[in-house]
Amino acid sequence: MPVFRSLKSTIIWLFIPITIVFVLVTGTISFMLASQQLKENAFTNLNDTIAQTKSLLSDKLTAFIAELIGLENKSEWISIMNKTDDPGVPLEPEDYIFMNKALDSYFERYPMLDSVLFYYNEGRVSQYKQNNSLISTVNISLDDYSSKLESERLSVIKWLNIHDENQLAAPQVISVYRMFGKDKSRTKGIFMMNLKNRFFSDLLNNAKISTNGYLCIVSNDGVMSFKNVEDRYEIDEVRLQEDLMNVDEPSGKINITNKHGEKMLIVYDTLSLNKWKVAAIVPERELYNKVNSIGLVIIMVMLLAIVAAALLSNIIAHIITKPLIKLTHTVNRIEDGNLPILYKAVPSNEIGVLSRGIQDMMLRIKNLLTEIKEEQEKKRSAELAVLQSQIKPHFLYNTLFSIKQLCEMEEHKDAAEMVAALSNFYRISINKGNEIIPISLEIEHIRNYLYIQQMRYGEDFIYEIDIEPDIMNCNIVKLTLQPLVENAIYHGMKLKRGQGLIRIWGEAANHEVRLYVEDNGKGMSEEEVKAINQSLREEADSGSIPGFGIGNINKRLQLNYGASFGLVYENRQSGGVTVMIRIPFYE
């Protein structure tokens, strides 16, 4: 007697999946912690860079503010301005010498200075020095400068971001100025310093952030940046200016996605002396490059560990699952419709017991399916035969009665033509015993029928046939249209006053062929239409075989094409009934 080996005792040794789970969990947690730390470090470095830049800018710019404020406290400047207020007092040569030396001292102390302007009392005092070259006379409009002040007080110090100072022929400078006078409408003068953009470009470009990261200065009147970056990392300066100047916090970070879909991180701080924003702009993908590199290393290590565990587990699993694999192949063949019943050698364990049980069960199922298939085939053939026999006599009785009436009225020629039409009608009906025919033959069949009926009813009705050429070669169960047209004639036209119209048309839609039989007869109520459609669905669900009429047609269509196809009734808005026939589209 073979020794029974339990699968449970073998599976105990399968520790590799636990190892794989442990590697995955450990690697994931390590990556999350490392990436979080790197992101924090990157953000801290950006803040440090901005803080250093802000500190240097504050020191330099504060010195210029001190110069502007100190101008009013120097007795020599006050004396010069008082003299110009009195038209009778001229300026002495010593005054001009003092002003020239004072302006020279600014250039000596501040190499980043581009030009200095002192303009007072409509130009009675006009000193403008640019790059140490004195220009004694300048004509400027004070209104242009006073209009840029945010308040009515002229004592407010105004900063202008990088711009072209057109009145002074100073391109690409940063300006700071203070005006003299009581208010904007009574300005008397201005003292302005224009700074070279070189000082700011060196300061902003010296900060090393990333390949396409850079520092910029943003204010209400513009954005100052000097670094050229790749096109895909460019950011809309108008949007940047709007977002930064509308933030509530003086420092922090925001995120902007540019027009190329790149996510840009913006870390900013605010200069207290003029409310300018010093911002570091860096693409997130560059900022987190180290994160991605560490993630890649961790993933590679995890993959190597998983591969090693998988190889080891595969060796162990092969010993354990070999009989299980054979059983799985047997089950897969069963799913494909095969029922294997041949007994093969099976192991003496749980799998062997299960395999023998499945084989015995499949043998019984195969025998049962063979019996059921034979019964279903007989049932379907019987249903089709019964349905066909129900339709053919139904039409024949009506047609022969019409021919009888023509003979009684001695309309022999019409009767002969009707007999010929009837012959063509049955030639298509029989069609060598084929149940499925092309739509073109079905249309020819219905033309013969309508010809016979129009000869019988004369001018009581007319008909139209309009079928898309693309569907004429599609197949349909024969004798589908004739009973519907017969219902339209006998029921739709029976109580109609005036000439009736029967319209038959067809189209292809949503991978279906849809044929329509319409009449302009008395129609039906909505309740009657709902009742008919409900009865068609119930017959499809129950599998019952109705007698004559629409249930007969619907059942034949569903037997051939499936329960989702068949007939649908609906009322026409202009009166009458439309019957839609739905069948799949294939030739």
- Whose structure tokens read 């949503």? 510
Give the per-residue pLDDT at 550: 80
581, burial (CB in 10 Å: exposed 0-12, middle 13-18, buried 19+): buried
Two structure tokens written together for 283:
């693409």
User: Taking the CB of residue 556, how many other CB atoms lie within 10 A of it?
Assistant: 23
Q: What is the pLDDT of residue 547?
A: 41
Cα–Cα nearest to 362, from 341, 337, 333, 336: 341
* Residues belonging to the chain: 587
Task: Check residue 75 and give its pLDDT.
Answer: 79
| Strand residues in 433-576 grouped as ranges (E) | 436-438, 461-467, 475-477, 500-509, 512-519, 566-571
Phi, psi of 510 (to 5 degrees): 55, 45
- Tokens 């020819």, residue? 444
Rounded Cα distance between 276 and 147, Å, is 19
Whole-prediction pTM value? 0.49
**Closest to 142 in 3D by CA, of 191, 105, 98:** 191
For position 98, what pLDDT does the model report? 84
- At residue 299, the pLDDT reads 82
**pLDDT string in tens for the chain (587-residue length):** 454 555 555 665 666 677 777 778 887 887 788 777 777 777 888 888 889 988 988 888 888 888 878 777 777 888 888 888 777 777 788 888 888 888 888 888 888 888 898 888 887 888 888 877 777 667 888 888 888 887 777 677 889 999 998 888 889 999 999 888 877 777 888 889 999 999 898 888 888 888 888 899 999 888 998 888 888 888 888 898 899 989 989 898 899 998 888 899 999 999 988 889 999 998 988 877 767 777 788 788 878 887 777 777 667 666 766 666 676 666 666 666 665 555 555 566 666 677 777 777 777 877 887 777 776 665 566 455 545 554 556 667 767 777 787 788 877 787 888 888 878 877 777 766 677 889 999 999 899 888 887 877 777 888 999 999 999 999 998 888 988 888 888 887 776 777 889 999 999 988 899 999 999 888 888 898 999 988 888 765 554 444 446 887 888 888 888 888 999 999 888 888 999 999 999 76
Dist. CA 355–CA 55, nearest whole Å: 81
Q: What is the DSSP string of 336-381?
A: TT----------SSHHHHHHHHHHHHHHHHHHHHHHHHHHHHHHHH
Report the DSSP pairing between strands 277-283 and 158-165: unpaired
Residue 189's closest CA among 86, 118, 95?
118
Q: Which of 140, 180, 143, 173 is nearest to 159 (CA)?
A: 173
CB 579 within 8 A of CB 492: no
Give all domains of the chain, ordered by start, each with its CATH number. Answer: 74-200 (3.30.450.20), 208-287 (3.30.450), 374-584 (3.30.565.10)
In three-state secondary structure terms, 144 is: helix
Q: State the residue for tokens 């053919």.
A: 392
Strand 113-120 with 461-467, pairing: unpaired
For residue 544, what pLDDT is reported?
46
> Are 162 and 224 within 8 A, CB to CB?
yes
